[in-house]
Amino acid sequence: MKVARKNVVLLGATGSIGANTLRVLRKHQNKLKLIAVTAHSNDQKLADICQEFKVPYATLTDSSAYKRAKAEGRFPSETQLFGGNDALIEISTLEEADIIVLGVVGACGLKPALAAIDMGKEIALANKELLVLGGSFVIDAAKRSGSRLLPTDSEHNAIFQCLEGHCNEDVEKLILTASGGQFRDAPIQKLDSVTPADATQHPNWSMGQKITVDSATMANKGLELFEAHWLFNLEPSRLEVVLHPQSIAHSFVQFVDGSILGQFTPPSMTFAIQHCLLYPHRSASVEPTLDFKQSMQWDFRAPDLARYPCLKLAYESLYTGGNALAIYNASNEIAVERFLNGSINYLDIPRIIDWCLSNDTNSVATSVEALIEIDALTRKLANAFKSSSV
Ligand code: NAD
Ligand code: MG
């Protein structure tokens, strides 16, 4: 069957999700066309991408990078270059855009994604903060416009694939797998002396710095529980996490009759990204998949919440609801930033999240603007935290 070529907008083209998306685009040029890309400050890398893919529109959100690129004429003449945060919205709402890959990190994706959703565009949802922060607003906007949210995070993509053809009443629970990160087997008493260099090495996945630290603390799984809650409309008691060090089983759905379905590939994001970009069609993968002629071992075990206080706090936040998810996310983001720049140590990350959550008044923001304000206030608070051990 001949399938229409999709026009793709890639937000965060210079990052890890961006690089994997480009690999899928290279493989499927007859099915996917890259029409717009963005980056924060890496102007040379973005210019190279525009050159290779002959991209008509590009945005640099960092204004000094934008000015530098303009002054030095770094971009090919066929690319129209924009600068600043608002340009993310312009690029995401281009009339000709069919699917927006949300590969930026942090809250900067919220407004552009909402604008694209309002126009009914498809969203390949890698960025976690969109649902963690925008939750009900994003889901309601997608319902109103008919925009399809395609979960790109590997766990949610796995669940999405397992759920196809089933209704919510048939689902007992979702089981998200987690590698457990690089300190999975380290003695707990050694965790306070972990350095940023140790925490940014992931045993299985090659990803951006922030998400790699989040994998070690399992704040990443916490954010993914929030995402699953919004995407699949299930209460916290039906969301489970299991450690699976090999990162091959990307998640499971357990049905009411006791059957459990899972989805499996080697640990590379190209599989999930391609599934979203070509959805609902399938085509040959960028990389070889699992080969059962080679023997392999898959392990599963329950996470120890004493080792992963960020996961415990995530469950508590889910049960609290309201603003807690936004506070969890913002305080974690600042805590990771502070850990990476050496102003706090590793175990201060959950301490900061806990401290910010305990300042919550249990209110519920009734607009996106109010949420953005809570996000900003939490960041201030998290920055004010004084570490007793550094
Ligand atoms: P990354 O740090 O490698 O890349 C981030 C991208 O966002 C870059 O292109 C950067 O230029 C851009 N960016 C950074 N700050 C920005 C700002 N203030 N304004 C506009 N653009 C900005 O991150 P990543 O690992 O690719 O992750 C991107 C998102 O996808 C995150 O939300 C992450 O949690 C999620 N995710 C990543 C992976 C993965 O394998 N890397 C897997 C699942 C989900
Ligand atoms: Mg994930």
Cα 217 to ligand 2 centre (Å) = 13
3-state DSSP assignment of residue 130: helix
pLDDT of residue 390: 64
Atom from ligand 1 closest to the CA of residue 106: 32
Residue 2: is its pLDDT beyond 80? no
223-275 pLDDT, tens digit each: 999 999 999 999 999 999 999 999 999 999 999 999 999 999 999 999 999 99
Per-residue pLDDT of 278-323, as tens digits, reads: 999 999 999 999 999 999 999 999 999 999 999 999 999 999 998 9
The SS3 assignment for 177 reads: strand
Q: How far is CA 14 from the centre of its chain?
A: 15
- pLDDT at 3 (0 to 100): 76
The confidence score (pLDDT) of residue 1 equals: 63
How far is Cα 74 from Cα 46, in angstroms, rounded to an integer? 9
Per-residue pLDDT, 361: 72
The residues spanned by each domain of the chain are 6-151, 156-266+298-320
Q: Which residue has 């003695």 as its token pair?
A: 187
In this structure, the number of other CB atoms found within 10 A of the CB of residue 82 comes to 17
Q: Which ligand is nearest to the CA of 215?
A: 2
Tell how far the Cα of 338 is from the centroid of ligand 1, in angstroms. Answer: 18
307 φ, ψ (degrees, to nearest 5): -80, -30
- Measured CA to CA, the distance from residue 123 to residue 365 in angstroms comes to 24
Q: Model's pTM, two decimal places? A: 0.95
Report the Cα 222 to chain-centroid distance in Å. 12
Going from the C-alpha of 203 to that of each of 157, 185, 209, 310, the distances in angstroms are 21, 12, 13, 20
Q: Give pLDDT tens digits for 319-332.
A: 999 899 999 999 99
For residue 158, report the distance from its CA to the centre of ligand 2, in Å: 10
Q: State which amino acid sits at residue 213.
A: V
User: Who lines ligand 1 at CB under 6 A?
Assistant: 12-18, 39-40, 42, 61, 103-106, 108, 126-129, 153, 205, 207-208, 211, 269
Tens of pLDDT, residue by residue over 190-220, are: 898 999 999 988 777 777 888 899 999 999 9
Architecture of the domain delimited by 6-151: 3-Layer(aba) Sandwich (3.40)
pLDDT at 24 over 70: yes
Phi, psi dihedral angles at 38 (to 5 degrees)? -135, 155
- How many A from CA of 223 to the centre of ligand 1? 14
pLDDT 10s digits, 98-127: 999 999 988 889 999 999 999 999 999 999
Ligand number with the minimum distance to the CA of 250: 2
